[in-house]
Amino acid sequence: MNLNIKYFGVLAEITQCSEETLSFSEGTVGELLAVLQAKYPALGTKDFQVAHKQEIVTKDTKITNPEIALLPPFSGG
Amino acid sequence: MSRYSRHIQLTEIGEAGQRKISQAKVLVVGAGGLSCPALQYLTAAGIGTLGIIDFDVVEESNLQRQVLFGTSTIGMNKALAAKQRLEDLNPTISIHAYPEKLTVKNAIALFTDYDIIVDGSDTIATRYLINDAAIVCDKPIVYGAIYKFEGHLAVFNYNHGPTYRSLFPEPPRNGSVANCSEVGVLGVLPGIIGAMQANEVLKIVLGFRGVLSGKLLCYHSQTGQTNVISVPKSKSSIEEDLLKSGILSDTYEATCDVLIPNISAEEALQTENTLFVDVRGFGEIPEVMLPNSMHIPLHELEQRLDEFRFEKNYMIFCATGARSTIAIARLQKHFNHHFYNVIGGATALLAQIKQPHE
């Protein structure tokens, strides 16, 4: 499946893009994160949540939909 | 009243709706970039009682986005300066300024006096404090946060709905999140998000459907793109403890600012003269069985400090590293022993115990 991955905030600075298409055979969110961290090692230094089908999910969620977003916390006010 | 005639003309508001607005009590935490526009519209709308808490003073670099202030108020406390400006905008409402920092000591008493809390703060620590105090007091939070060109908007703890901890269960690691003073921000962005926060407040007060409860709206000011992400309510042992005890932990700042020494599970198990301390709640899985260990849930820590009287290398762990970090920050205040945060917590320890490296 071709995933459409959106990166927000500081994560977009790490990946140098706000969005990308990535081919991913099948697996869980945790497995996808391992792939992404191998591609962008600095992702491992940041805390963020993952949305799948526009919903926050846990790492053991199986990916069934191409829409993925990585959301870090923002502190600014 | 002619002041509110444009509201009253709306059939969705009318005189009854305007009365609800005039009876509402809203506390705005922080009087910075998000809060200035939020306060401006809430005041103009006629929110009957407005509270503003901020310990900080107005600086010239704030004027690029904090639109309630001017050159004449530089150096003045922000809560007081905001009140002065807002009283001119609408003298018919009551505005309370608290020129102090929101802390574990004042949060609950303060929140109790209001119906809705607006989070316009600018540190992660304060955001967790607001969440936890709002849970204890059972108040909804209208949350806003910004980073450079991007903004977040959500409503948390609305009718026991999802909370900030449902979105971000525990504070991020040190240095993982920067604030505006460190990274800069497009001035109009907090204006947009802050105005949207005022809108959510009015929706709650007026009982409109479509309150952004448990939904995180992400706005990008460069692309105009908006993404709405659902945040399911998640079980949080910290929040369950809070509901039971009604007491806030005293280390919100510490979790974000103090340097906590980390250690890997493997290294922790190889270190001599150690005592492992599980600070999770009772019954949390996976269970970790170690001979040199004790179990002290975080909320019991202050009562059981004497159990740390021995000179040892204390390996503190929980599920993810958040509660262990809080525990270490507290313990460091009382003892000079070595306290380490076990990376990966219980799961990492268990993996090492089951498959020790040769």
Asked if residue B29 is part of any domain, the answer here is yes
Percent above pLDDT 70 for chain B = 93
Contact flag A69-B216 (C-beta cutoff 8 Å): no
Q: How many Å lie between the alpha carbon of A22 and the closest alpha carbon of chain B?
A: 20
Give the lowest-confidence range in B4-8, B332-336, B351-355: B332-336
> Is the pLDDT reported for residue B286 higher than 60?
yes
Mean pLDDT to the nearest integer, A2-25: 96
Hey, is A7 helix, strand or coil?
strand
* Residues from chain A contacting residue B185 (CB–CB below 8 Å): 76
pLDDT digits (tens, 9 = 90+) for B121-144: 998 989 999 999 999 999 999 999
Is the same domain home to B211 and B275?
Answer: no
Q: Which residues in B have their CB inside 8 Å of a CB on A? A: 30, 32-35, 119-124, 127, 144-148, 150-152, 166-168, 172-173, 176-180, 183, 185, 190, 216, 218, 220, 223, 227-232
Whose CA is closest to B90, among B48, B44, B27, B25? B44
Which domains can be identified in chain A, with CATH numbers? 2-71 (3.10.20.30)
Per-residue pLDDT tens for B29-60? 999 999 999 999 999 999 999 999 999 999 99
Query: Both ends of chain A: CA-CA distance in Å?
Result: 38
* Minimal-distance CA residue of chain A relative to B182: A76
* pLDDT score for B1: 63
Q: Which domain holds residue B83?
A: 2-236
Q: Mean per-residue pLDDT for B232-244?
A: 89
Do B134 and B39 share a structural domain? yes
pLDDT higher than 60, residue B180 = no
Mean of the pLDDT values across residues B261-290? 91
Mean pLDDT for B183-207 is 96
Tell me, what's the pLDDT at B237? 85
Q: Are residues B162 and B308 in the same domain?
A: no
Q: How confident is the model at residue B358 (pLDDT cuts 50, 70, 90)?
A: very low
- Judged against a pLDDT cut of 60, whether residue B176 lies above it is answered with no
**B221 and B338 belong to one structural domain:** no
Q: Do B148 and A72 touch (CB under 8 A)?
A: no
The nearest alpha carbon in chain B to A58 belongs to: B234
* B100 assigned to some structural domain: yes
Question: Which candidate from B177, B179, B232 shows the least CB-CB separation from A56?
Answer: B232
Task: Indicate if B18 and B59 belong to the same structural domain.
Answer: yes
Q: Averaged over B11-25, what is the pLDDT?
A: 98
Q: Tell which wins on pLDDT, A6 or B323.
A: A6
Rounded to an integer, the average pLDDT of B243-249 is: 86
Q: Do A76 and B145 touch (CB under 8 A)?
A: yes
B142-162 residue pLDDT tens? 999 999 999 999 999 999 999
pLDDT at B257: 46
Q: What is the average per-residue pLDDT within A19-33?
A: 96
Q: Report the CATH number that the domain containing residue B131 is assigned in CATH.
A: 3.40.50.720
Same domain (yes/no): B112, B199: yes
Residue B357: the pLDDT is 53
Residue B75 in any domain: the answer is: yes
Average pLDDT of span B298-308: 90
User: If DSSP states are collapsed to H, E and C, what string results for chain B?
Assistant: CHHHHHHHCCCCCHHHHHHHHHHCEEEEECCCCCHHHHHHHHHHHCCCEEEEECCCECCHHHCCCCCCCCHHHCCCEHHHHHHHHHHHHCCCCEEEEECCCCCCCCHHHHHHCCCEEEECCCCHHHHHHHHHHHHHHCCCEEEEEEEECEEEEEEECHHHCCCHHHHCCCCCCCCCCCCHHHHCECCHHHHHHHHHHHHHHHHHHHCCCCCCECEEEEEECCCCCEEEEECCCCCCHHHHHHHHHCCCCCCHHHHHHCCCCEECHHHHHHCCCEEEEECCCCCCCCCCCCCCEEECCHHHHHHHHHHHCCCCEEEEECCCCHHHHHHHHHHHHHCCCEEEEECCHHHHHHHHHHCCCC
Convert B100-114 to b/e letters by CB count within 10 Å (16 or more is b).
eebbbeebbebbeeb
Give the pLDDT confidence score for residue B230 in this predicted structure: 98
Task: State the total domains in chain B.
Answer: 2
Query: Do residue B298 and residue B266 come from a single domain?
Result: yes
The most confident of the ranges B180-194, B201-215, B267-281, B286-300 is: B201-215
Using an 8 Å CB-CB cutoff, list chain A residues near B174.
none
Residues B102 and B158 in one domain: yes
B100 & B220 share domain: yes
Of A59-68, B77-86, B252-261, the poorest mean pLDDT is in B252-261
Residue B180 shares a structural domain with residue B286: no
- Domain match, B65 and B192 both: yes
B169, B202, B236 — which closes off a domain?
A: B236
Considering B236, B269, B295, which residue would you say is the last residue of a domain? Answer: B236
Q: A70 to chain B: nearest residue by CA? A: B229
Residue B253 within any structural domain of the chain: no
